[in-house]
Amino acid sequence: MQIIITQNAGFCFGVERATKIAFDASKELDGDIYTLGPIIHNPQVVRSLEKKGIVAKKSLDDIKGGTVIIRSHGVTAEVLKSAEEKNLKTLDATCPFVKKAQKRVEKLSEEGYTVLVVGDAKHPEVQGIVSYASGDVYVAANVEELENLPHVEKLGIVAQTTQSQNNFNQIVDACMEKAREIKICNTICDATAVRQSESTNLAGRVDCMIVIGGLSSANTKRLASLCLEIQPNTHHIESAEEIGRSWFDGVGKVGITAGASTPSDVIEDVKKTIEAIAA
Ligand code: SF4
């Protein structure tokens, strides 16, 4: 049985960086260390950090002192300010691409633009980006949600980093009649698109597709559903223990892909387990 792994399976740049910051902190810092929410959508990594004394807390209210690590998709400006007011030491692991979107919003507001963030209003990354606007700001996940956006003089548009280019383009097009002047800041990060295109391409060339990643990770779930549309023998797992032997009956080629929050040792474990089944 041939096993093929997509080139960019696993950690993206921002997640790799945030995870390194957290593990380095466990070695270098004294005192209590917390992450605000799980550092990444991967239970194994979260448990491994817990063993090193770094605990995920939902809110700053649950943290009395010590160090707080901000995860890759960032937090609101208010949360950073409250951490400072509580005299917490902050380790900001916000992905630089997310930071860039936050800074763009801040600048657009300063320049008098009404800001539109293309993305999911409930997502913490979007809530963080929105918080940097000092003037009017709107969020739209699709063209229908533009209904609430009034006609304005100057409109500045930024994107949640994981938006699809196609959706962003459609919204930008629909905004043309909403303002006299439009400034477009394409803050999409291509890590998601690259993983999706590599994975769907591979799903079309194999008899079984394994998608590894947190069952609660929106990006991994999307990766699995895209692969499933192409290859019905697609399975979304978090770890090698969940692999079923029957998935490989009559299979010549297996494809493996993994979401941006999946560590390389988990991918390696899955590969070895499949090799053992095939032997
Ligand atoms: S997907 Fe892109 S923006 Fe998000 S954490 Fe990864 S590298 Fe950063």
Inter-residue contact 206 to 266 (CB < 8 Å): no
Asked whether this chain's domains 2-9+191-278 and 13-95 adopt the same fold, the reply is no
Tell me, what DSSP letter sits at residue 153? E
Phi then psi dihedrals of residue 240, to 5 deg: -60, -30
- 140 CA distance to ligand 1 middle (Å): 20
Q: Which two tokens stand for residue 18?
A: 């945030």
**Per-residue pLDDT reduced to its tens digit, 6-53:** 999 999 999 999 999 999 999 999 999 999 998 888 888 899 999 999
**What class is the 2-9+191-278 domain?**
alpha beta
198 pLDDT higher than 90: yes
Closest ligand 1 atom number to CA of residue 162: 1
Q: How confident is the model at residue 254 (pLDDT cuts 50, 70, 90)?
A: very high
Between CA 1 and CA 250 the distance in angstroms is 9
Look-up of token digits 């063993």: 51
Residue 178, token pair as written in the block: 């909403």
Residue 40, pLDDT score: 85
What's the CA-to-centroid distance between 193 and ligand 1, angstroms?
11
Per the CB < 8 A criterion, the answer to whether 69 and 91 are in contact is yes
Mutate to test the pocket of ligand 1, among 70, 161, 262 (most ligand atoms within 8 A of CB): 161
- % of the chain residues with pLDDT over 70: 100
From the alpha carbon of 125, which atom of ligand 1 is closest? 4
Q: Which residues line ligand 1 (CB under 6 A)?
A: 12-15, 72, 95, 97-98, 161-162, 189, 191-192, 260
125 catalytic residue (yes or no): yes
Residue with tokens 């090799």: 275
CA distance 137 to 193: 26
**Residue of 125, 145, 153, 238 marked catalytic:** 125
**Would you state the pLDDT for residue 14?**
95
- Report strand pairing: 33-36 vs 54-57: parallel
pTM score of the predicted model? 0.87
Residue 255 and residue 203 in contact, taking contact as beta carbons nearer than 8 Å:
yes
The CATH number of the domain covering residues in 97-184: 3.40.1010.20
Phi, psi of 252 (to 5 degrees): -95, -40
Nearest-CA residue for ligand 1 atom 5 is: 14
Architecture of domain 13-95: 3-Layer(aba) Sandwich (3.40)
| Domain definitions of the chain by residue range | 2-9+191-278, 13-95, 97-184
Amino acid, res. 103: K
